[in-house]
Amino acid sequence: GQSLEQPSEVTAVEGAIVQINCTYQTSGFYGLSWYQQHDGGAPTFLSYNALDGLEETGRFSSFLSRSDSYGYLLLQELQMKDSASYFCAVKTDSNYQLIWGAGTKLIIKP
Amino acid sequence: NAGVTQTPKFRVLKTGQSMTLLCAQDMNHEYMYWYRQDPGMGLRLIHYSVGEGTTAKGEVPDGYNVSRLKKQNFLLGLESAAPSQTSVYFCASSKGIEAFFGQGTRLTVV
């Protein structure tokens, strides 16, 4: 079967750096996406990696290693508003189907 | 620019009742999706469409039907609701990498 594994919960301190890991096992792989979802809200797109390496967008960075079937989302200078759930998702075919991880709840303490 | 709009936002159904969830997007996207999200789980794809007049099954299609008669609209139907279909339903649209989500429909089947 197809699966994505990510930690269920991560706790960090405001102003710190946190890394959320994602390992995947899928029948096809076109790229790895990351989405943020606040409680009661809709997922919003953060980043996408199709090739190995690090992509940086402001305080957020995302990394992919296709040989290891692994990626991570790095959040720097954490702010209280970053408290949310973060989902990794793999694009498995050309029709933009996504297989989703169960999500990581990020708890930020003052 | 409204993006993706779902109606209704909340609904309570009795077992065996039917209903249709409406999704409209104004971004001229080809791809549209219906997901369900259950507590502690990622999003699971119910059905999707790669263009007007086309639909396809996702991971969990049983008990649901869809139609895409117009490019901007994607309808999700429940023919005979069951308590197992209690969930939050998200519609999304995409033209490529990034998916845009509606605000969700919280459905309870009693």
Q: Is the dihedral of CA A51, A54, A60, A66 positive or negative?
A: positive
Q: Is A40 helix (H, G, I), strand (E, B) or coil?
A: coil
Three-state SS at B37: strand
Count CB-CB contacts under 10 A for residue B109. 19
Cross-chain CB nearest to A102 (options B40, B50, B100): B40
* Residue B40, pLDDT score: 77
Percentage of chain B modeled with pLDDT above 70: 99
Is pLDDT at B1 greater than 70 in this prediction? no
Q: Between A45, A102, A103, which is nearest B99 by CB?
A: A45
Range B32-41 average pLDDT: 91
Tokens of A86: 């973060």
Letter for the amino acid at B6? Q
Residue of B nearest to A34 (CA): B98
Q: Which of B27, B30, B43, B91 to mutate to test the interface with A (most CBs of A within 10 A)?
A: B43
For A80, which DSSP code? G
pLDDT reported for residue A96: 67
The reply to whether A102 touches chain B by the CB within 8 Å rule is yes
Q: Is the pLDDT of residue A78 over 70?
A: yes
Tokens of B101: 């989500």
Q: What are the tokens at A72?
A: 């991570």
Mean pLDDT of B44-69: 94
The answer to whether A71 faces chain B, any CB pair under 8 Å, is no
- Cα–Cα dist A66/B44, whole Å: 23
Which residues face A63 on adjacent strands? A54, A72
**If you measure CA to CA, which chain B residue comes closest to A1?**
B59
User: Which stretch of A48-62, A65-79, A84-98, B43-57 has the lowest confidence by average pLDDT?
Assistant: A84-98
Q: Give the integer Cα–Cα distance in Å for A92 and B105.
A: 26
Alpha-carbon span B31 to B85, nearest angstrom: 24
Residue (of B74, B50, B46, B48) closest to B62 by Cα position: B46
Examine the pLDDT at B23 and tell me if it is beyond 70. yes
Q: What's the one-letter identity of residue B47?
A: H
Q: Which of A27, A87, A98 to mutate to probe the B interface, most B CBs <10 Å?
A: A98
Average pLDDT score, chain A: 94
More confident residue, B15 or A96: B15
User: pLDDT digits over A52-70, tens only?
Assistant: 999 998 999 999 999 999 9
Does residue A95 register a pLDDT over 80? no
> What's the pLDDT score for residue A97?
77
B39 pLDDT more than 90? no
Average pLDDT for chain B? 94
